[in-house]
């Protein structure tokens, strides 16, 4: 009977540890599936539409997601999109220090993904 009493704390620790791992995984995996799919689709358009490019592009978004949080990724993607707008509005996105920093973060993450995945 003493053995059964000893198992309760061990089981409790395992349950708590599993919960902590699950929460950490959710924090790391904060990119929605649609954002990951869009990235992979664009990456495949740029790198060929093959099975190999699916693997490489999927790896690439996983690396990017491990380096920069999703909100920073959205900021960089917005800057890229808005910087293409002509006129004063687009100019603000092209010249803003905050925009430049977000783009630099994304470019560094993509460079790391290039090294690891391609």
87 phi-psi bin (left φ>0, alpha ψ -120 to 50, beta other): left
Work out the angle between the directed axes of helices 70-82 and 51-67 (0-180°, nearest 10): 110
State the pLDDT at residue 16.
45
Block means of pLDDT (10 residues each) for the chain, 118 residues, are: 48 43 53 97 96 97 97 93 79 78 96 98
What gap in Å lies between CA 82 and CA 76, rounded to an integer?
A: 10
State the pLDDT at residue 93.
65
State the pLDDT at residue 84.
80
Q: Look at residue 20 and give its three-state secondary structure.
A: helix
What gap in Å lies between CA 91 and CA 115, rounded to an integer?
A: 32
What is the residue extent of each domain of the chain? 33-117
Are 76 and 103 contacting, i.e. CB atoms less than 8 angstroms apart? yes
State the pLDDT at residue 99.
85
State the pLDDT at residue 27.
58
Tokens 């490019």: give the residue. Answer: 53
What gap in Å lies between CA 12 and CA 19, rounded to an integer?
A: 11
Q: Look at residue 31 and give its three-state secondary structure.
A: coil
What gap in Å lies between CA 87 and CA 80, rounded to an integer?
A: 15
């Amino acid at each position: 009977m003493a053995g059964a009493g000893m198992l309760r704390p061990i089981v409790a620790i395992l349950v708590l540890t599993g919960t902590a791992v699950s929460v950490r995984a959710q924090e790391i995996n904060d990119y929605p599936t649609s954002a990951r799919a869009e990235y992979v689709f664009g990456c495949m358009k740029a790198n060929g539409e093959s099975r190999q490019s699916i693997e490489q592009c999927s790896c690439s978004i996983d690396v990017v997601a491990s380096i920069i949080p999703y909100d920073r990724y959205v900021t960089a993607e917005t800057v890229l999109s808005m910087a293409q707008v002509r006129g004063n509005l687009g100019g603000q996105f092209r010249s803003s220090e905050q925009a430049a920093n977000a783009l630099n973060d994304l470019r560094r993450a993509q460079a790391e993904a290039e090294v690891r995945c391609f």
